[in-house]
Amino acid sequence: MNPRTTVIIVTWNGRTHLDGLMPALLAQEAPGGFEVLVVDNDSRDGTPDVIAEIASRDSRVRLIRNPTNAGFAPANNRATDEARGEFVVTLNNDTVPEPGWLDALVSVAASDARIGSVASQMVFAHDPETIQSAGIRIDRAGIAWDRGSGDPRMKPGPPVPVFGASAGAALYRRAMLRQLGGFDPSYFMYLEDVDLAWRARLAGWESVVAPTSVIRHAHSASAGEGSPFKNWHLGRNKVWTIARCYPAPGLLEYLPAIIGYDLASLPYTMVTRRDLSPLRGRIAALRGLHP
């Protein structure tokens, strides 16, 4: 019998996180059981060997090796193609799930067929009483924010509607992923979850956050908080997402706000951080505007 849920972890030189992640993950319980697919993006730090050894002891774990760093979005899509579960859970390798995390995600998703995604309550690893993200919210300028970031940890309670789920620790209904084509592989990484959440809403799917599904996250441990690499992809992918997903009437109405935000934020970033990567990312987006 196939497991009901597939947990996908994409790794790239993340061996140092595995000692915390894997024992906590494999101790989880979920209705209908679960499997774990680890996609390694050509790590050079011994990550594949560690996962292979774990897989030899636990049949729920499988290793998928990419010959190059394919990026977060393509790697998740590859694993989704091999997933056996009705539900697909994406999980960053720099996380540690608290007890009951997976059970809460699956139980909420199974309660309503209209739910396409369920967000975890992500808290900071260094401060687990403070929220890092409780889903995605979008402002009128098309900017995606971590919902609840900096707020006190949510108390146990019923699911709360949100715009979408952060792919750092999110459950997706596999039927929805098939309908939408999964993550857009051209994004490589960053905002691919925002693009997917927006397309899901436009297609009529609902998203909620499960307050009792708690995960501790070492924010931006893989690519570095505020790194030029991250800022370039954020700049490019933001333009692509707005151009692709923002409904035309709203886009025309709020275009001044969208442009105004960039005119205010870009000079600040370039001057204070001496970083041109956000501007270069936006230029790259305009050169190859996403369909």
Q: What mean pLDDT, rounded, does the chain reach?
A: 89
Which token pair is 243? 């151009």
Q: How far is CA 99 from CA 196, 216, 247, in A?
A: 28, 11, 40
**pTM for the structure as a whole:** 0.87
Tens-digit pLDDT profile for residues 48-71: 999 999 999 999 999 999 999 989
The residues of the chain that CATH labels 3.90.550.10 are 5-217
Give the model's pLDDT for residue 241. Answer: 81
Backbone angles phi, psi at 203, to 5 degrees: -90, 0
Provide the pLDDT for residue 219. Answer: 67
Could you give phi then psi for residue 188, rounded to 5 degrees?
Answer: 65, -70
Residue 133 is predicted with a pLDDT of 98
Tens digit of pLDDT for each residue in 168-210?
999 999 999 999 999 998 887 788 999 999 999 999 999 999 9
Which pLDDT score is estimated for 122? 98
* pLDDT tens figures, 151-171: 999 999 999 999 999 999 999
pLDDT at residue 291 in the model? 46
Phi/psi at 97 (5° precision)? -75, 140
Domain 5-217 part of CATH 3.90.550.10: yes
Q: Which pLDDT value is given to residue 191?
A: 86
> Which pLDDT score, from 0 to 100, does residue 7 have?
99
Low-confidence residues of the chain: pLDDT under 70 = 219-226, 249-254, 258-276, 278-279, 281-286, 288-291
The candidate with the shortest Cα–Cα distance to 245, out of 184, 193, 280, 195, is 195
Identify the DSSP state of 274: -
Q: Vertex 61, ends 212 and 80: CA angle to 5°?
A: 75
Dump strand ranges (E) for the chain: 5-11, 34-41, 61-66, 87-92, 95-97, 115-124, 127-133, 136-138, 144-146, 160-161, 169-173, 206-217
**224 phi-psi bin (left φ>0, alpha ψ -120 to 50, beta other):** left
**Overall residue count recorded for the chain in this entry:** 291
> With contact defined as beta carbons under 8 Å apart, do 198 and 245 qualify?
yes
pLDDT at 221: 47
